[in-house]
Structure 1
Amino acid sequence: MEWIMMVAGIIAVCAVLLVLAFLLPRLSRHPQNGAQRALGTGARAGGKAPGPVGRLFSRSFHSSSRAVGRSGSAGRKARGRMPF
């Protein structure tokens, strides 16, 4: 159950960042960096688990951090393509 809540939370953060980056491109950098910093901390903590379990825990946080970065980048990129 915790796993599902974590996935839902990451999806919510990505959606909020996408909208924020589209509406306020400059102001979206700080929340994006904060989310990526928090996920990086989780990845480092998960990586301390022994053996393959540590790689598994770390990988999920790394992929979530990458998704947050891509979401913010996509919002700013879409804003740049707008004709106005």
Structure 2
Amino acid sequence: MIIAIIGVCAALAVLGFLVPRLSRHPERGTQRTLGAGSRLGGKAPGILGRLLSKPFRSSSRAVGRSGSAGRRARRRLPF
């Protein structure tokens, strides 16, 4: 799962750099999927619920940051 998230983050960063407007939809779709996994994991009782939902929350945060980093880098270009 870690390698898949790294690949998605890299793809979103490149997509955000090359076509910033078109990177929003895949980013939101990925975050929606990870959010569903987080909600499902959070339904487990007590500490187990927090432990099961944490990887999905941190992955969703990483996806958002990588997409915005690509768009931010594109914005800073001189052309």
TM, length-normalised to structure 2:
0.98
Q: Which whole-Å CA distance do the structure 2 matches of 1:10 and 1:40 have between them?
A: 14
> Identical aligned pairs, as a percentage?
70
* Equivalent pairs, count: 79
Query: Pairwise mapping of residues 1-84 of structure 1 onto structure 2 (< 5 A)?
Result: 6-84=1-79
Flag structure 2 segments of 5+ consecutive residues without an equivalent. Answer: none
Q: Which amino acid counterpart does residue 81 of structure 1 have in structure 2?
A: R
CA distance in structure 1 between the aligned counterparts of 2:12 and 2:52, rounded to whole angstroms:
24
Query: Distance between the aligned counterparts of 2:26 and 2:17, measured in 1?
Result: 13
Unaligned runs of 5+ in 1: 1-5
Report the equivalent of 1:3. none
Q: How well do the aligned residues superpose, as a CA RMSD in angstroms?
A: 0.5
SS of residue paired to 2:78: coil
Residue type of the alignment partner of 2:31 = Q
